[in-house]
Amino acid sequence: MLTLMQKRAVSLMIPALIFLLGLGLGPQAYAQTEPLKDRTQLLKPVPETFVKTKNHKRVIRADYDLLKKDFPLLIGKSKTEIDEWLIRQVGDYIAIPQAQSTITNSPIIYDLAETKIVDRPQDYGRGSVMPVEGGLIDVKGSGALKPSQEESRNGLLAGSDALREYMYEHVVREIMAQESPDIKTVGSYAVIDVGFNIRWPDGKESPATYLLRQAKPRVDRPYSLLNSEQSVRVEKILRKYGITSAGAHRHLPFRLLNVQGSQGRNPSQINLVDFGAYLTIPDIDINKGEAYAIEEWLAKGETKNTAEMRLLMNPEKNPGDVVSIHKHRLSWNLWGYSELNIADPAYDNPAVWSHRTLDHIRLGWAPASSVDDLYKTMVENSVEPWRLKENFCKTIFRTLMRAH
């Protein structure tokens, strides 16, 4: 039994522990932003008619906890029932021009008699926001208005890209929960194999997928990019864990920050979205090279003249830009590009292993659960060291509550 003095001490400690658990020791508490429920709050949405498709679909990976949080009507349903709901509400529909294309994709079986009105907000080249029971879901890869085989214009999303981005969102979610509670990620709900293939210019094909995310209005700036101050702040946190947003165009003698986001409840809140350009790099490269905004580089016609752009970071000359690497940074052997040794998000380990896993599943060489195994290896094992502090405090909290 506790003495009166011990009970009073416990009573004083409990509120403090609750405060600590809410101020950064609980990743899920600060992981994602709240999704939109009202389409009128999207950034310049344009209504569009989508058509229902008949190709066989399946859910590759889903965040069932997040889905139940955002859509309470799913509470109590099994994973299979939620998968069926996702396909019925979202996976079954695609942009009509995409359904009619035979150049960018293999044949899509569709029925013009069954349609759905969705929204295509500003700068959603291959995305849409679909109304579903209980709210809205943002969909990446649901078709373009004018699909073509030009780079990034086919309207679709390869399975390896979708799964890679899904994993990156989840690991960045955990990083920001540990580092900065006011920086959130737009949560990824699921990846769906929509039952047809993307046809690439070289004649090869790969499975087409949808990446389902929380619906949020994008930042009203070119390419949904955050401003320079916000981009640098996010980049410094990412580099601490071995990641950079400047994963693309690394053949250039400088780096291009690519931090995209959605609008928050207030101007100071940052909601990160689109992780396709993120790349895990070796320690030796983290504090190397000049960095500029990719927005300015694109606006200048992809110039090589850095004098025309504002310098955002230069660790080699500005000590304030030097980042101290976290002892639990992401494993280079997991998240880097050691497999093919190509410093490009399209060829890093997460992309290669995602492609290989999905390909083997389709060929019948591996069970569908291989995706869960990959996720556990990449994400859950990576974030476990960061949660030691959180789990320790929670254990103390539970012990004190029992004693109290």
H helices then E strands: how many in the chain?
A: 14, 17
Q: Which of 70-79, 235-244, 259-268, 293-302 shows the lowest mean pLDDT across its residues?
A: 259-268
Name which of 220, 229, 285, 216 is nearest 257 in CA terms: 229
| Tens of pLDDT, residues 327-362 | 889 999 999 999 999 999 999 999 999 999 999 998
Sign of the CA dihedral with 115 first, then 116, 120, and 124 last: negative
| Predicted pLDDT of residue 118 | 97
Question: In angstroms, how far apart are the furthest CA atoms of the chain?
Answer: 78
Average pLDDT over residues 362-366: 91
Q: Is residue 399's pLDDT more than 70?
A: no
Q: How far apart are CA 79 and CA 167, in angstroms?
A: 19
| Residue 94 φ/ψ, nearest 5 degrees | -150, 160
| Predicted pLDDT of residue 402 | 52
Name which of 301, 43, 274 is nearest 152 in CA terms: 274
Contact between 272 and 188 (Cβ < 8 Å): no
Most confident of 9-13, 85-89, 219-223, 393-397: 85-89
Q: Is residue 9's pLDDT more than 50?
A: no
| Predicted pLDDT of residue 32 | 60
Residue 129: beta bridge partners?
119, 138
| Predicted pLDDT of residue 384 | 82
pLDDT level of residue 15 (50, 70, 90 thresholds): very low
What value, to the nearest 5°, has the Cα angle with vertex 325 and ends 31 and 242? Answer: 60
Q: How far apart are CA 223 and CA 202, in angstroms?
A: 28
Contacts from 2-11 at CB under 8 Å and sequence distance 24+? 2/403, 7/404, 10/400, 10/403, 10/404, 11/404
| Tens of pLDDT, residues 287-297 | 999 999 998 89
Q: How far apart are CA 375 and CA 354, in angstroms?
A: 9
